Amino acid sequence: MNIAIHRGPFALEPGPLEQRLRRALAARAELIEALRVTLSDENGPRGGADKRAALLLDLRGGGRVKSVATSPSLKRALELALEGLRRGLASRLGRRRSRRRAARRRSRESPSGVTDG
């Protein structure tokens, strides 16, 4: 899994963040082509709930999952975005499984590919 981190104005080491992301997505790592992380401070020095984490996951075989979260704390914004990414990935994989099951069902019902009509 290739991870690209765009830290914006934040002075943080990419190593620990990358390790955290790899651990969080380890169960599905074989399905993930790349992860892009973009961190930003929407209001600059004015403060407020403006730390933004955007995560974009490219899946092997095509497809993307995106999650964006904003919070007063960068750490919390990352955790929220990561949780949204996990939910989105589970949903995406569920749809893939459903499509495969439906295709198998259709092929069992009509082995010759010809339908009654």
Percent of the chain with pLDDT over 90: 44
Per CATH, the number for 2-109 is 3.30.160.100
Distance, in Å, from the CA atom of 28 to the CA atom of 3, rounded to the nearest integer, reads 14
Question: What ranges do the domains of the chain cover?
Answer: 2-109
Sheet holding 64-71, edge to edge: 2-6, 32-41, 51-59, 64-71
Across 73-98, average pLDDT: 87
- pLDDT at 52 (0 to 100): 93
Query: Where does residue 21 rank: exposed (0-12), middle (13-18), buried (19+ CB within 10 A)?
Result: buried
On the question of pLDDT at 115 being above 60, the answer is no
